[in-house]
Amino acid sequence: MTATAAERAAMTHALEIARRGPRGLNPQVGAVILSPTGDVLAEGWHRGAGTPHAEVDALSKLAPAELRGATAVVTLEPCNHTGRTGPCAQALIDAGVARVVYALDDPGVRSGGGAERMRAAGLDVVAGEQADAAEALIGDWLTVQRLGRPHVTVKWAQSLDGRAAAADGSSQWITGPAARADVHRRRAAADAIIVGTGTVLADDPALTARDGDALLPRQPVPVVIGARETPAEAAVRRHPHAPLFYTEHDLTAILADLRDRGIQRVFVEGGPTLASAFLAEGLMDEVLAYLAPVLIGGPKLALGDIGVSSIGEARRLVVDEWLPLGPDLLAIARPAAADEAAENDATVNAVPADENTSRNDPSRSEGEA
């Protein structure tokens, strides 16, 4: 069973109106109600937690007689549980809708299963219409459902010999303008930017996303982790978003709180102590390592202890892209899957273990204003 031309057009429109809803705890969802002849009767979208879901929003605009035999086109499988609102699958059944076309299955253990419920009630149900476009729209939300926490990108900049700063702590600038501009673009794509108090106290970063001196339209929420007090005059306190401060060091708990605040994607900028802590706990989905053609030497390593004591424990990565940025090079990497890690191990098992077992724990990264 496939979607009709009218239903495909309705799905395209439903995806467009879904974007009117906010990013956050709930996914952006759009719905369009069609008559039995394919005419658009109503549309709706989800406006945030506690408000009617897209299907119910659309249904509320029609009289019961108009809904008999209608088709609902929805960007996400109608939910099957009662939370702040009732199950949308049952609402569609009760309304007399005859057919439902949706894009993506609901991944929730409690909220999924709406399609089965509607089929059991005698409705025609078509799944997968424009699924790729729907996944592109709410991919970050889907990742949060899968991981149980926000997606984590860990970023650092380093010299070719692996240093984040000179021996005196100075670090502006290791990388060039093109690399720094790339960082700001990626900041703007995140919901939150995380640093440690060492970086705040040493560099006084604004933690904004900028194009030159101008603020980009989308700004990440600044997050500062550490027990030391952030000064009242610190630049981060003038950020467009009120900063979040965590004095605890339980990263799992911090990420859980950010998830509950609707944060879906975080950007960890450091310094090295904080970046190393995220890596040591396996709380990393993407690495952005900016490599500059400069030698610094000294003790200020880009990473400290990440819990690796032998080469067999090394955190294997897959580099998805090497991106030249002026004289610098960006490695965009992700954790290797088990089969990819095994393949990497096979290519390096003859390499002797690194004899340098010293541990360095600098408190800041290359300064980012």
Q: DSSP letters of 47-78? A: -STTSPPHHHHHHTTS-HHHHTT-EEEEEEPP
Domain-located, residue 343: yes
Of 115, 144, 173, the residue at which a domain comes to its end is 144
Domain identity same for 163 and 114: no
By annotation, the residues acting in catalysis are 55
In the chain, alpha helices (H) = 5-18, 54-59, 64-67, 88-95, 114-120, 131-147, 177-188, 197-203, 251-260, 272-280, 338-348
pLDDT tens, residue order, the chain (369 aa) = 789 999 999 999 999 999 999 988 889 999 999 999 999 999 999 998 888 999 999 999 999 999 999 999 999 999 987 766 679 999 999 999 999 999 999 987 678 889 999 999 999 999 999 999 999 999 999 999 989 999 999 999 999 999 998 888 777 788 999 999 999 999 999 999 999 998 899 889 999 999 988 999 999 999 999 999 999 999 999 999 999 999 988 999 999 999 999 999 999 997 899 999 999 999 999 999 999 999 999 999 999 999 999 998 899 999 999 999 999 999 999 999 866 655 655 554 544 444 443 333 334 444 445
Domain-located, residue 282: yes
- What is the domain range of residue 174? 148-348
Q: Bridge partners of 328?
A: 325
Domain-located, residue 111: yes
Domain-located, residue 359: no
Domain identity same for 169 and 121: no
Beta carbons of 300 and 164 less than 8 angstroms apart: yes
Domain-located, residue 266: yes
Domain identity same for 164 and 288: yes
Domain identity same for 343 and 208: yes
Number of domains in the chain: 2
Domain-located, residue 329: yes
Domain identity same for 131 and 182: no
Domain identity same for 138 and 181: no
Quick one: which of 48, 39, 41, 17 has its CA closest to 30? 17
Q: Are strands 214-215 and 210-211 parallel, antiparallel or unpaired?
A: antiparallel
Domain identity same for 24 and 152: no
**CA-based torsion, 204, 206, 209, 210: positive or negative:** negative
Q: Which residue has the tokens 């119910």?
A: 56
Q: Give me Rg for the CA atoms of the chain.
A: 24
What is the CATH classification number for the domain harbouring 102? 3.40.140.10
Domain identity same for 58 and 168: no
pTM for this one?
0.79
Bond preceding residue 271 cis, omega within 30 of 0: yes
Domain-located, residue 367: no
Domain identity same for 121 and 174: no
Domain identity same for 226 and 104: no
